[in-house]
Amino acid sequence: MDYVLLGIQSVFSNTAMFSVFGVGIPSCLVTLFLGLLTGIAVGATPGLAGPTAMAVSLPILISVFGVRPDALLPVFGFLIGVMKGATVGGAVPAILFNVPGTPDAIMTTLDGHPMAKRGMPRRALRIAHFSSVTGDTASDIVLFVCAPFLAIMVERFLDLPEKTALIILSLTFISSVMGSSVGKGLIAVALGVLAATVATGQTFHPRLTLGIDGLQNGFPMVSAVLGALILGEIFVTLNDIWRGERQASTVQSSHGDVADGLQKGDLRRIMPHIARSSVIGTLIGALPGVGSTLAATLGYTVGRGIHKRRKRPEDPDFGEGAPEGIAATEAANSAVSGANLIPVLSLGIPGNAAAVFLILAADSIGGFNPGPAVFNFTRPQINPELVVAFGIFTLMALGNLLNWTIGGAFMRAMSVMSRIPIRLLLPIVLMVTLTAIYIQDTRMAALWITFGFGILGFFFRRLDIPVLPFVIAFILAGTLENTARQAFSATGGDPFFLFRSATSVIFLLMAVAIIVFLGRRKGHGAAATHPN
Amino acid sequence: MNRIARTCAMLASLVAAPFAATAQDWTPPGPITLMIGFAAGGGADTQARLVASGVEDKTGWTILPQQVTGNSGLNLAKELSTAPADGTVIGMVVSETLAYNAVIAGDPALQAENFTPLATTAAFQMGLIAVADGRFSTWDKVKAEAEAGTPIRFGVATERQADMAYHFGLETGIPFNIVSVAGGAEIMNGVRAGDLDIGWVAGAQAKAVTAGELVNIATAIPTPLAESPDAPSIVDLGSEFYLDGYFMFIAPKDIPEEARVALAQAIADVASDPNTQAGALIQRSFGGAAVLTGAELDAYIAKGVQDSSQLLEAIK
């Protein structure tokens, strides 16, 4: 309990950035607010998503706040703001122009846009906002409650060999659920682990560097992650534009005489859908690697089935502008974001791109290592990492509060963002990303490495290999190797340390089962959609 | 006039240097780059940056801190060995970088004689730790558990610590399961979580020991530990060597003597003054500064190199 108070206190007693009427405004509240606005704006811009904004802003934030431990909360504040803002903002162009601002808003176009076309864009936006923020808040509450308990359970019941097996299980799961086929996911994970082994390890002679001096510290995490995720995406988009494949269709909404804005009974109608989708989103979010797009699809599909049976005859169907459709989608995709931090904070395993950037931030600044050790309730000595964790929870709660109050108004003002042509946007993002990397790592080698990973990311996308498993494997490979090495030596050099306890054998069997089961199902799914 | 003055000053310094060079004789020809061999944001990094800003305040020089991490300080040594030897590039490492790590790496360019040690700031408060109320909370309990056949998991953070643990095991007849982790903080977490049983920690354990959560079951340095003055030393328990060491600043080989003296004195003054931020940090974490400079420091490093060779011989 003391830690909860300390966490809240750490947010409010953070270094004052400026003062209003003699009251110092803590810098992490300022960054949270700015992050939220940025996130909504970025979410509302088709072609940009939350992770891009987080990637670009992270190095800038680090150069502003430095790498001292008290920089953690302001930087996290901004990133959390972006994360929360983007989930809300993605619905804007989806509703107004039938163009999803973020990938997980695809299902929002199905009902949001028809409703806007019938002359009720404000009503659609308000429903989207309300559902999104409610789903997000619900999932955050689950995070606050579950993460500490899960972490404590892991520390109490899992020894080093079981932790190794757990990481293997997580990587297998991530590689199997992301992307079109299990095999491609496994390729991505294997390449990520391979890239992470360069120049790491324990000897004084860095391995796999081919004698190149620029590699004697290995691939810097910032270069590798931003290269594969951001540059790769930029290259693909440029390639598409060059081949003339990317034409966004913007349908103008016709304003009729229909009464706009929230209508009486709307909230009562959508509440059950929000509640159900929040549960779906939270459950999916808690599994690393599944992602918000699946949550949105699932929330929408389940909602449609129930709506069909229960709706009154005069109500619109899903797909014709039903408020329930917007609610079911938006609540589900937003509920993912909070729950996604459960594996990050309690196990150190990132489940989506946003979580990757939170880990990247923690890694660059230092002083906070996401993982079960964060939740050591030591006493009377204060565990600073735990204070940071509760500081993060406080920031998330405040972020929700801001989202409730000002998010809606700001969101409705953001429709202008979707008119920015992508060919102007991309060079800016590219330049800011490269500058940002150079700020953090002032070697030309870092930029070459970034380009290298960018090209790799390009081919991944062209070959339909998922990029995120590659990045997550790159981040987790070090932990996996160290835990395995430690487990090996702690058991006195037992080569079968993974098979000595029931727990780790169960984890490994689950990993095998996932590959077999999902591999078969995905194979069937592909055969069904592509009969050839 | 200016040139004459400078020539005079140079002549004066040349004459004075062999007798007693003092801080006033030397100013750096440009900003000083300080390479830091520790991860950004950690305790050692903070110490390095605070010493740098203390020296800036005291002397008016400009110091630019920069991270050169990896390979237990040897990446820094490699980069420093090719840096200009005029006092404008210095580095902060631990003494075992030049002693044990250089010896084991074997690269002739990285050996201690290719560097100029400037000054140490603080000594490791190295203890062998365990959970206070656990099965390994005293050396006798550790021995009893070992005799009962319990495998004992021993956390170490560097190559030298690993080899010392192995040597300690050889001398005491206990075959430890030696587990390498990333640092002292991780060893403490491992012990708390029950992943490890005992481990070396170089000073970060002070608060937890005072709070009664962890315990120093033995000291690995020649002087008693501040929090556990009664803990037996590992040499009493059978080891041939101590696991001592210092945080220290180094420069490339053959820097001008007056530069060495001026830099060493500035660093030493800041580290041993508890009114500076650096001095306060050192007081808090290590119970006070431990400053060695000049010939005394050279001798310490030479002894460290010799001990390292002997340790490597002993565990062959």
From A218, which residue of chain B is nearest by alpha-carbon distance?
A: B70
Does B192 contact A378 at a Cβ distance shorter than 8 Å? yes
ipTM of the complex: 0.72
From B38, which residue of chain A is nearest by alpha-carbon distance?
A: A366
- Answer yes or no: is pLDDT of A254 > 60: no
B194 has a chain A CB within 8 A of its CB:
yes
Q: Which of A67, A378, A486 sits opposite B40 (nearest CB)?
A: A67
From B190, which residue of chain A is nearest by alpha-carbon distance?
A: A373
* Domains defined for chain B, CATH in brackets: 30-123+245-314 (3.40.190.150), 127-219 (3.40.190.10)
User: What pLDDT sits at residue B230?
Assistant: 92
User: What pLDDT sits at residue A152?
Assistant: 84
B104 has a chain A CB within 8 A of its CB:
yes
Does A376 contact B192 at a Cβ distance shorter than 8 Å? yes
User: What pLDDT sits at residue B16?
Assistant: 46
Q: Which of A160, A366, A489 sits opposite B178 (nearest CB)?
A: A489
Weakest-pLDDT range from A4-18, A260-274, A488-502, B47-61 = A4-18
Q: Which of B186, B194, B207 sits opposite A381 (nearest CB)?
A: B207
CB atoms within 10 A of CB B133: 9
User: What pLDDT sits at residue A225?
Assistant: 86
User: What pLDDT sits at residue B262?
Assistant: 94
A-B C-beta contacts closer than 8 Å: 84
Does B71 contact A491 at a Cβ distance shorter than 8 Å? no
User: What pLDDT sits at residue A387?
Assistant: 83
Distance (Å, whole) CA B220 – CA B222 = 7
Closest CA to B223 of B247, B250, B246: B246
B160 has a chain A CB within 8 A of its CB:
no
Chain A nearest CA to B45, separation (Å) = 10
CB neighbour list of residue A521: distance below 8 Å, 6 or more residues apart: none
Within 8 A of A485 by CB-CB distance, chain B residues are: 180
Place of tokens 């509440």: A271
Within 8 A of B45 by CB-CB distance, chain A residues are: 366
User: Is the N-terminal amide bond of A380 cis, ω within 30° of 0?
Assistant: yes
- Answer yes or no: is pLDDT of A494 > 80: yes
Does B41 contact A216 at a Cβ distance shorter than 8 Å? no
The whole-angstrom distance between residue B139's C-alpha and the CA centroid of its chain comes to 26
CB neighbour list of residue B179: distance below 8 Å, 6 or more residues apart: A160, A486, A489, A490, B153, B154, B155, B156, B190, B195, B196, B199
Q: Which of A67, A378, A490 sits opposite B213 (nearest CB)?
A: A378
In whole angstroms, how far apart are CA A133 and each of A115, A192, A275, A405, A471?
20, 34, 12, 10, 29
> How would residue A530 be classed by pLDDT, with cut points 50, 70 and 90?
very low
DSSP B311: H
Does B213 contact A381 at a Cβ distance shorter than 8 Å? yes
From A66, which residue of chain B is nearest by alpha-carbon distance?
A: B41
In whole angstroms, how far apart are CA A77 and each of A87, A202, A279, A345?
16, 35, 25, 16
Helical pair A2-12 and A72-89, crossing angle rounded to 10 deg: 90
| Rounded (5°) CA angle A458-A461-A462 | 85
Does B193 contact A373 at a Cβ distance shorter than 8 Å? yes
B41 has a chain A CB within 8 A of its CB:
yes
Query: Is A128 within 8 Å of A95 (Cβ atoms)?
Result: yes
User: What pLDDT sits at residue A218?
Assistant: 82
Place of tokens 């949105």: A296
- Determine how β-strand B127-131 pairs with β-strand B214-219: antiparallel
B102 has a chain A CB within 8 A of its CB:
no
Q: What is the CA radius of gyration of chain A?
A: 23
Distance (Å, whole) CA A85 – CA A88 = 5
- Determine how β-strand B32-36 pairs with β-strand B63-67: parallel
Closest CA to A457 of A179, A232, A239: A232
Chain B nearest CA to A53, separation (Å) = 24
Within 8 A of B46 by CB-CB distance, chain A residues are: 68
Does B177 contact A490 at a Cβ distance shorter than 8 Å? yes
The backbone region for B15, taken as left when phi is positive above 0, alpha when psi lies in -120 to 50, beta otherwise, is: alpha
Weakest-pLDDT range from A38-42, A59-63, A512-516 = A59-63
The residues with which B177 forms a beta bridge, in sequence order, are B153
- Answer yes or no: is pLDDT of A505 > 90: yes
Beta strands in chain B (DSSP E): 32-36, 63-67, 89-94, 115-123, 127-131, 153-156, 177-180, 198-201, 214-219, 246-252
What residues in chain A have their Cβ under 8 A from chain B's Cβ atoms? 67-69, 155-156, 159-160, 163, 199, 202, 204-206, 216-217, 364-367, 372-373, 376, 378-381, 482, 485-486, 489-493
Q: Which of B72, B177, B189 sits opposite A373 (nearest CB)?
A: B189
User: What pLDDT sits at residue A250?
Assistant: 45
Is the model more confident about B180 or about A261? B180
B72 has a chain A CB within 8 A of its CB:
yes
**What average pLDDT values come out for chain B (316 residues) when binned by 10 residues?**
54 47 72 87 81 92 86 88 93 94 90 95 93 93 94 92 95 93 83 91 85 91 89 94 94 94 95 91 84 94 93 88
Does B181 contact A486 at a Cβ distance shorter than 8 Å? yes
Chain A nearest CA to B21, separation (Å) = 37
CB neighbour list of residue A283: distance below 8 Å, 6 or more residues apart: A339
Chain B nearest CA to A47, separation (Å) = 34
Closest CA to A53 of A17, A31, A78, A72: A78
